[in-house]
A and B are shown apart, each in its own frame.
Chain A
Amino acid sequence: MDFGPFLLLALMEGTVMAAVLALTAVGLSLVFGVMRVVNVAHGEFFMLGAVIAWFVTHYMPGPPAVGFAAALVICPLLVGGVAALSDTLILKRLNYDPEATIVATIGLSYIFQQAALTFYGPDARPVEAPFDLRIQLPWFGYSGYKIAVVVAAIVILLAVWLLMTRTRAGLIMRATQLDRTTARAFGINVDRVYAAVFALGAGLAAVAAVLIVPIQQAHYLMGHDPLLLSFIVVIIGGLGSLRGTLLAALVIGLSDGVISVFFSPTLAKILATLLVAMVLVFRPQGLFGVKQ
């Protein structure tokens, strides 16, 4: 393949990856930013989203698009509900102690993974895309659905941004992020804010999974990669900084696309991890993080 089309394909693949990664990582970043909880179970919330999407589309009558639309609504709600429950039942009782919450979320991740294995089974199952469109370029064909994923991700991220900056709920979340004690003094129910933020973070991971599941398939072990990549993105961007997370997702997604296509996907992962190490050494708060 010539260089031009080669680069185009690399960039397209990178953009799809960046879009999904941004959604997943923003969820992780939000949870850390507001709650100071390192959520190791984030990848499993992603997996749960995909698995529930399979159930919804499988049992929903009518054309695939209807089932898929239902999954887009039901999955984040259900996964968010599970997350809110985990927060009230477990994390709250640990007083959000940083070490304890890491161990607790590791435990949660095992519970979710094994639950999926028990109730969903070990198979990778496909979810049909809501529409079947193939874009035929002169050099190669490309899935029209993948482009729809990018658009959907941008819309959702925009909605999250509006929520955080333009609504009262966002204001409360930002206030809690800035200073939990003062927020409480002003009558904010911090417990409820935490549960809502944890649910929102998990819900974003679930939405990302619903978008990706017609491309990949729902499988009980699929949470690993999103978790690792989200952490990479969030560390580079600066824990808690949404702007940094978005930018880092774009950098990691695109560079992964380009390096994977021109060299090898393994090299792309090596370089991303190296970048994390460099950021941790020279700018531990991340590119856009604020020094504590």
Chain B
Amino acid sequence: MTRLIGMTPSRRGLLKGMAATASALALPGFVQAQSSAPIKLGFQLHRTGIGAAYGRWYERTTQAALKVVNDQGGINGRPVEVIFEDDGTDPKRGAEVVEKLASQAGCDAIFGPLFSHVVIGSAPRAGELKVPYLVCSEGYHVASGMLNRWTMQPGITDVRAQVSSMAPWVANNLGKKVTMVFPDYAFGHDHRDYFTAAIQAQGGEVIKHIAIPPTETSFTRYLPQIPKETEVLYHVMVGPAVLTFVKELGEFYGTGARPEIFGFIDSLEAVDTASPGLEFLEGTHFWEGNCRVKQADASENEAFYRMAVGVDDNGASVSDAKDISTYAHMFSCWETLFILKAGMEAAGYQGVADRQKLVEAIEAMTTMPESAAHPQGDKVFNAKMHQVFGHQNISKVEGGKLVRVYRTSIEETMYENDTDYTAMSF
């Protein structure tokens, strides 16, 4: 006991020691932040909840992109670290995740959320915390001007642009009387509003809107609402029950007469087109942001991206042929990470004090040529809308596989509105 007491340091000695340790730690620490401390990016991930299938692949895609970025020397010569945080595909949790990533983890920027209700619930918090918030959501909520200066969508074209560019092709090739089936929340409402307007501009009309709650598990009961005179059935569905939806659609039409079917691949993301019960999809068409099945004319960049993420030529994981990717959407994570890199390098980004410079640097972007950083194709960024525009694909199911039949130009996706985020204050 006495020896122990003898070893107890004096108060003065303790203070001296603490001061010495503190200065020893503080000095190199300061130098570190200037030179090689990792850049920390937060990823708001739908790991659980109704967006889990997307979350799984968004994480893999981001990990693959991160490896490429770090192999190339990181950002501004600093290594990059991505902190993944699950939001349960829940808007309330989403705002908390933004808070946690920005305030506790001290992330330089946050990216990655997809589901529109989560983005709309989380973006205001990002604006309040003044942290760059790059969403991969497709929703029109960014370009519509309802969010804030800190929220941008530079990695994927929004729904309004997608559906506007689909309408002429649908009207000219499939038919003019359309019935729409869509999920009854923000994302589905964008489809409803802008496809309806776009098909009218083509001399067609939507004769029936069928809204389905996104948590629905049984769909047959909605299908009799499809009017008999429908020429084109337009479907877009999300959530864990997408396979049920498509299967029940097949059961409903069976071998009888059916209208032409045009779907957004969202109805089948992470689902094998060759699943039992989906044979009726043969000959139907799908929108795809990026073609799941490797096309004959796939570019070198596309092939590199596919390989880096670990996706085979059919769009499944190279390690499990049953694990189908969300290929049409997940490129947005890859491209967004490279935009963050480009933006940080253009802004000479040093630390959280430069967050505003980062937003301004991304706003200064205009055209993005196709490259390994943009494997989905070239794009045009509209700084006022905080929204990127790119090529869209229409694929046809042939022999159980999605084969591209049309690729839109970027001009076909463009529209005008009076959003101007650059005029908003930070």
Contact = CB atoms under 8 A, between A and B. Distances in A.
B308 to A, nearest CB: 23
A126 B200 CA distance: 38
A266 B213 contact: yes
B240 A219 contact: yes
B224 A6 contact: yes
A141 B48 CA distance: 34
A128 B276 contact: yes
Interface residues of B, number: 35
Contacts of A136: 254-256
Interface in B214-250: 216-218, 220-224, 226, 228, 240-241, 243-244, 248, 250
A274 to B, nearest CB: 19
Interface string A207-242: 000000001110111100100000000000000000
B49 interface: yes
B277 A216 contact: no
A183 B194 CA distance: 68
Contact of B221 (A121, A219, A257): A257
Contacts of B275: 126
A141 B254 contact: yes
Interface in B40-92: 47-50, 52-53, 55-56
Given A128-B276, A265-B221, A140 B256 contact: yes
A182 interface: no
Given A134-B254, A141-B252, A1 B56 contact: no
Contacts of B48: 117, 122, 220
Contacts of A10: 221, 224
Contacts of A9: 220-221, 224
A143 B224 CA distance: 15
B256 A124 contact: no
B254 A215 contact: no
A215 B213 CA distance: 18
Contacts of A123: 52-53, 56, 240, 270
B256 A141 contact: yes
Interface string A107-137: 0000000000100011110101000101010
A6 B224 CA distance: 7
Nearest to A132: B276
Contact of A122 (B52, B221, B226, B255): B52
B281 to A, nearest CB: 14
B251 interface: yes
A17 B217 CA distance: 12
Interface in B114-164: none
A126 B253 contact: no
B139 to A, nearest CB: 22
Most A C-beta atoms less than 10 A away, residue of B47, B55, B216, B224:
B224
B254 A265 contact: no
Contacts of A216: 217-218, 241, 244
Contacts of B220: 9, 13, 142
A215 B250 CA distance: 13
Nearest to A216: B217
Contacts of B277: 132
A138 B241 CA distance: 27
Contacts of B56: 122-123
A225 B240 CA distance: 14
Nearest to A141: B254
A252 to B, nearest CB: 14
Contacts of B244: 215-217
B53 to A, nearest CB: 6
Given A9-B220, A10-B221, A122 B49 contact: yes
A154 interface: no
A141 B224 contact: no
A267 B248 CA distance: 22
B24 to A, nearest CB: 43
Contacts of A188: none
A126 B248 CA distance: 13
Interface in A131-177: 132, 134, 136, 138-143
A195 B8 CA distance: 60
Nearest to A2: B228
Contact of B47 (A6, A122, A217): A122
Interface of A: 1, 5-6, 9-10, 13, 17, 117, 121-124, 126, 128, 132, 134, 136, 138-143, 215-217, 219-222, 225, 257, 260-261, 265-266
16 contacts: A1-B224, A1-B226, A13-B218, A122-B56, A123-B240, A123-B270, A124-B243, A126-B275, A128-B276, A139-B256, A140-B252, A140-B254, A217-B244, A221-B50, A261-B224, A265-B213
Given A142-B252, A217-B244, 12 more contacts: A1-B224, A6-B224, A122-B56, A134-B254, A141-B251, A141-B254, A142-B251, A143-B248, A216-B217, A221-B50, A260-B221, A265-B222
Interface of B: 47-50, 52-53, 55-56, 213, 216-218, 220-224, 226, 228, 240-241, 243-244, 248, 250-256, 270, 275-277
Nearest first, the 10 closest Cβ-Cβ pairs linking A and B are: A141-B254, A124-B240, A122-B52, A122-B48, A260-B221, A136-B254, A219-B240, A143-B251, A261-B221, A1-B224
